[in-house]
Amino acid sequence: MSEATHPANVVIVDHPLVQHKLSRLRDAATSTAGFRRLAREISLLLAYEATRDLKLEDVEIETPLERITGKHLSGKKLCFVSILRAGNGILDGMLDLVPSARVGHIGLFRDPATLRPVEYYCKLPDDIEARDCIVVDPMLATGHSAVAAIDSLKRAGAGTIIFVCLLAAPEGVACLAAAHPDVKIITCAVDRELDDHGYIRPGLGDAGDRLFGTK
Protein backbone atom coordinates (compact mmCIF):
# COMPACT_ATOMS: atom_id res chain seq x y z
CA MET A 1 0.00 0.00 0.00
CA SER A 2 1.05 3.61 -0.42
CA GLU A 3 0.35 6.90 1.32
CA ALA A 4 2.84 9.11 -0.55
CA THR A 5 1.61 12.58 -1.64
CA HIS A 6 -1.71 12.05 0.11
CA PRO A 7 -2.97 13.07 3.58
CA ALA A 8 -1.98 10.86 6.48
CA ASN A 9 -5.53 9.52 6.83
CA VAL A 10 -5.55 8.13 3.25
CA VAL A 11 -4.29 4.63 2.41
CA ILE A 12 -3.91 3.78 -1.29
CA VAL A 13 -4.06 0.02 -1.84
CA ASP A 14 -1.59 -0.35 -4.69
CA HIS A 15 -1.44 -4.16 -4.79
CA PRO A 16 -1.00 -5.32 -8.41
CA LEU A 17 -4.25 -7.32 -8.36
CA VAL A 18 -6.19 -4.30 -7.11
CA GLN A 19 -4.74 -1.98 -9.74
CA HIS A 20 -5.31 -4.53 -12.51
CA LYS A 21 -8.96 -4.99 -11.54
CA LEU A 22 -9.42 -1.24 -11.13
CA SER A 23 -8.29 -0.64 -14.72
CA ARG A 24 -10.85 -3.18 -15.90
CA LEU A 25 -13.52 -1.41 -13.83
CA ARG A 26 -12.64 1.90 -15.46
CA ASP A 27 -12.99 0.44 -18.96
CA ALA A 28 -16.27 1.57 -20.53
CA ALA A 29 -16.41 -1.74 -22.43
CA THR A 30 -16.75 -3.77 -19.21
CA SER A 31 -20.25 -5.26 -18.98
CA THR A 32 -22.60 -4.84 -16.05
CA ALA A 33 -21.96 -8.43 -14.99
CA GLY A 34 -18.21 -7.95 -15.33
CA PHE A 35 -18.28 -4.68 -13.41
CA ARG A 36 -20.28 -6.26 -10.59
CA ARG A 37 -17.90 -9.22 -10.37
CA LEU A 38 -14.80 -7.02 -10.38
CA ALA A 39 -16.22 -4.70 -7.73
CA ARG A 40 -16.88 -7.69 -5.50
CA GLU A 41 -13.37 -9.04 -6.02
CA ILE A 42 -11.73 -5.68 -5.29
CA SER A 43 -13.89 -5.14 -2.21
CA LEU A 44 -12.62 -8.38 -0.71
CA LEU A 45 -9.04 -7.15 -1.17
CA LEU A 46 -9.92 -3.75 0.31
CA ALA A 47 -11.55 -5.48 3.29
CA TYR A 48 -8.27 -7.31 3.86
CA GLU A 49 -6.55 -3.93 4.25
CA ALA A 50 -9.39 -2.40 6.30
CA THR A 51 -9.18 -5.22 8.85
CA ARG A 52 -5.39 -5.13 9.15
CA ASP A 53 -5.42 -3.72 12.70
CA LEU A 54 -8.00 -6.03 14.26
CA LYS A 55 -6.82 -7.28 17.64
CA LEU A 56 -5.90 -10.93 18.24
CA GLU A 57 -5.79 -13.13 21.31
CA ASP A 58 -4.13 -16.47 22.02
CA VAL A 59 -6.24 -19.63 21.89
CA GLU A 60 -5.31 -23.24 22.51
CA ILE A 61 -6.20 -25.59 19.65
CA GLU A 62 -5.54 -29.19 18.66
CA THR A 63 -4.10 -29.77 15.20
CA PRO A 64 -4.26 -33.33 13.81
CA LEU A 65 -0.74 -33.79 15.23
CA GLU A 66 -0.36 -31.74 18.43
CA ARG A 67 -1.68 -28.98 20.69
CA ILE A 68 -0.59 -25.41 19.84
CA THR A 69 -1.31 -21.80 20.72
CA GLY A 70 -3.08 -20.14 17.80
CA LYS A 71 -4.75 -16.76 17.26
CA HIS A 72 -8.39 -15.69 17.25
CA LEU A 73 -9.93 -12.26 16.78
CA SER A 74 -10.59 -10.56 20.08
CA GLY A 75 -12.26 -7.46 21.45
CA LYS A 76 -14.77 -5.45 19.43
CA LYS A 77 -16.74 -6.98 16.60
CA LEU A 78 -17.29 -5.56 13.13
CA CYS A 79 -20.14 -3.77 11.40
CA PHE A 80 -20.11 -2.97 7.69
CA VAL A 81 -22.24 0.07 6.90
CA SER A 82 -23.39 0.46 3.29
CA ILE A 83 -24.32 3.88 1.92
CA LEU A 84 -27.29 3.10 -0.33
CA ARG A 85 -27.55 2.20 -3.04
CA ALA A 86 -24.11 1.81 -4.57
CA GLY A 87 -22.48 0.72 -1.32
CA ASN A 88 -24.23 -2.64 -1.66
CA GLY A 89 -22.11 -3.30 -4.74
CA ILE A 90 -18.97 -3.64 -2.64
CA LEU A 91 -20.59 -4.96 0.53
CA ASP A 92 -20.87 -8.59 -0.57
CA GLY A 93 -17.16 -9.03 -1.18
CA MET A 94 -16.41 -7.80 2.32
CA LEU A 95 -18.94 -10.20 3.79
CA ASP A 96 -17.19 -13.01 1.91
CA LEU A 97 -14.13 -12.23 4.03
CA VAL A 98 -15.95 -11.56 7.33
CA PRO A 99 -19.32 -13.39 7.11
CA SER A 100 -20.04 -12.91 10.82
CA ALA A 101 -19.99 -9.09 10.60
CA ARG A 102 -23.21 -7.20 11.23
CA VAL A 103 -24.51 -4.91 8.47
CA GLY A 104 -26.00 -1.43 8.68
CA HIS A 105 -27.54 0.66 5.89
CA ILE A 106 -27.76 4.42 5.50
CA GLY A 107 -29.84 5.88 2.65
CA LEU A 108 -29.12 9.39 1.40
CA PHE A 109 -30.35 11.54 -1.48
CA ARG A 110 -29.17 14.95 -2.66
CA ASP A 111 -31.55 17.86 -2.14
CA PRO A 112 -31.85 19.53 -5.58
CA ALA A 113 -32.06 23.01 -4.04
CA THR A 114 -29.24 22.86 -1.50
CA LEU A 115 -27.24 20.00 -3.10
CA ARG A 116 -26.73 18.67 0.43
CA PRO A 117 -27.39 15.02 1.38
CA VAL A 118 -30.68 14.20 3.11
CA GLU A 119 -31.02 10.97 5.08
CA TYR A 120 -34.11 8.91 4.25
CA TYR A 121 -33.14 5.60 5.87
CA CYS A 122 -30.86 4.45 8.67
CA LYS A 123 -30.80 0.94 10.14
CA LEU A 124 -27.89 0.01 12.39
CA PRO A 125 -27.21 -2.81 14.88
CA ASP A 126 -28.41 -2.04 18.40
CA ASP A 127 -24.88 -2.47 19.78
CA ILE A 128 -23.20 -0.20 17.24
CA GLU A 129 -21.18 1.48 19.99
CA ALA A 130 -19.46 -1.86 20.69
CA ARG A 131 -18.43 -2.46 17.08
CA ASP A 132 -15.69 -1.20 14.78
CA CYS A 133 -17.47 0.25 11.73
CA ILE A 134 -16.34 0.05 8.13
CA VAL A 135 -18.39 2.37 5.91
CA VAL A 136 -18.54 1.36 2.25
CA ASP A 137 -19.40 3.42 -0.84
CA PRO A 138 -17.73 2.95 -4.25
CA MET A 139 -17.00 6.65 -4.81
CA LEU A 140 -15.77 9.45 -2.56
CA ALA A 141 -16.60 12.41 -4.83
CA THR A 142 -17.67 15.61 -3.05
CA GLY A 143 -17.48 13.80 0.28
CA HIS A 144 -20.83 15.16 1.48
CA SER A 145 -22.60 11.78 1.60
CA ALA A 146 -19.70 10.17 3.43
CA VAL A 147 -19.64 12.97 6.00
CA ALA A 148 -23.42 12.74 6.52
CA ALA A 149 -23.27 8.95 6.95
CA ILE A 150 -20.44 9.18 9.46
CA ASP A 151 -22.28 11.97 11.30
CA SER A 152 -25.20 9.54 11.73
CA LEU A 153 -22.91 6.76 12.93
CA LYS A 154 -21.28 8.97 15.53
CA ARG A 155 -24.66 10.19 16.77
CA ALA A 156 -25.59 6.52 17.23
CA GLY A 157 -22.48 6.00 19.36
CA ALA A 158 -20.02 4.46 16.90
CA GLY A 159 -16.38 4.94 17.82
CA THR A 160 -13.75 3.52 15.47
CA ILE A 161 -14.79 4.18 11.85
CA ILE A 162 -13.00 3.45 8.56
CA PHE A 163 -14.26 4.59 5.15
CA VAL A 164 -13.62 2.28 2.17
CA CYS A 165 -14.18 3.21 -1.48
CA LEU A 166 -13.00 2.18 -4.93
CA LEU A 167 -12.08 5.71 -6.02
CA ALA A 168 -11.72 9.11 -4.38
CA ALA A 169 -11.38 12.68 -5.61
CA PRO A 170 -9.08 15.19 -3.86
CA GLU A 171 -12.13 17.31 -3.03
CA GLY A 172 -13.85 14.39 -1.30
CA VAL A 173 -10.73 13.45 0.64
CA ALA A 174 -10.35 17.04 1.86
CA CYS A 175 -14.05 17.29 2.82
CA LEU A 176 -14.07 14.05 4.80
CA ALA A 177 -10.72 14.77 6.45
CA ALA A 178 -11.90 18.21 7.56
CA ALA A 179 -15.16 16.90 9.05
CA HIS A 180 -13.81 13.65 10.50
CA PRO A 181 -10.01 13.70 10.78
CA ASP A 182 -10.13 10.53 12.90
CA VAL A 183 -11.57 8.44 10.03
CA LYS A 184 -9.09 6.53 7.87
CA ILE A 185 -9.86 6.42 4.13
CA ILE A 186 -8.93 3.26 2.23
CA THR A 187 -9.16 3.41 -1.56
CA CYS A 188 -7.67 2.06 -4.78
CA ALA A 189 -6.78 5.51 -6.13
CA VAL A 190 -7.22 9.25 -5.65
CA ASP A 191 -8.04 10.59 -9.11
CA ARG A 192 -7.32 14.00 -10.64
CA GLU A 193 -10.45 16.06 -9.89
CA LEU A 194 -14.21 16.46 -9.91
CA ASP A 195 -15.85 17.86 -13.04
CA ASP A 196 -18.70 20.41 -13.11
CA HIS A 197 -21.26 17.63 -12.68
CA GLY A 198 -19.58 16.14 -9.62
CA TYR A 199 -18.10 13.14 -11.43
CA ILE A 200 -14.63 11.91 -10.55
CA ARG A 201 -12.17 12.33 -13.44
CA PRO A 202 -10.89 10.13 -15.02
CA GLY A 203 -13.04 7.95 -12.78
CA LEU A 204 -15.18 5.04 -13.91
CA GLY A 205 -18.56 6.67 -14.49
CA ASP A 206 -21.55 6.32 -12.19
CA ALA A 207 -20.74 3.29 -10.02
CA GLY A 208 -24.39 2.66 -9.10
CA ASP A 209 -25.54 2.70 -12.71
CA ARG A 210 -22.73 0.41 -13.80
CA LEU A 211 -23.37 -2.00 -10.92
CA PHE A 212 -27.11 -2.24 -11.47
CA GLY A 213 -27.44 -1.62 -15.19
CA THR A 214 -29.38 1.63 -14.87
CA LYS A 215 -28.95 5.04 -16.48
Q: Please tell me whether 145 is known to bind a ligand.
A: yes
Q: Please tell me whether 130 is known to bind a ligand.
A: no
Q: Please tell me whether 94 is known to bind a ligand.
A: no
Q: Check 24, 51, 110, 160 and give the catalytic one.
A: 110
123 within 8 A of 102, measured Cβ to Cβ: no
Alpha-carbon separation of residue 121 from 35, 65, 104, 109 (angstroms): 26, 52, 10, 10
The verdict on whether 110 is a catalytic residue reads yes
Produce one character per residue of 177-202: b if its CB has 16 or more CB atoms within 10 Å, e if not.
beebeebbbbbbbbbeebeeeebbee
Helix (H) or strand (E) holding 137: none
The verdict on whether 195 is a catalytic residue reads no
Q: Please tell me whether 8 is known to bind a ligand.
A: no
Q: Please tell me whether 74 is known to bind a ligand.
A: no
Q: Check 14, 92, 151, 206 and give the catalytic one.
A: 206
Q: What is the dihedral of CA 135, 30, 191, 208, to 10 degrees?
A: -40
Q: Please tell me whether 149 is known to bind a ligand.
A: no
Q: Please tell me whether 197 is known to bind a ligand.
A: no
- Supply φ then ψ for residue 153, to 5 degrees: -60, -45
Q: Please tell me whether 105 is known to bind a ligand.
A: no
The verdict on whether 114 is a catalytic residue reads yes
CA–CA separation, 117 and 35 (whole Å): 26
Q: Please tell me whether 142 is known to bind a ligand.
A: yes
Q: Check 53, 96, 182, 209 and give the catalytic one.
A: 209
Cβ neighbours of 105 (radius 10 Å): 18
Q: Please tell me whether 143 is known to bind a ligand.
A: yes
Q: Check 114, 126, 155, 196 and give the catalytic one.
A: 114
The verdict on whether 127 is a catalytic residue reads no
Tell me the binding residues for 5-phospho-alpha-D-ribose 1-diphosphate. 85, 110, 137-145, 206
Tell me the binding residues. 85, 110, 137-145, 200, 205-207
Question: Where in the sequence numbering do the catalytic residues fall?
Answer: 110, 114, 206, 209
Tell me the binding residues for uracil. 200, 205-207
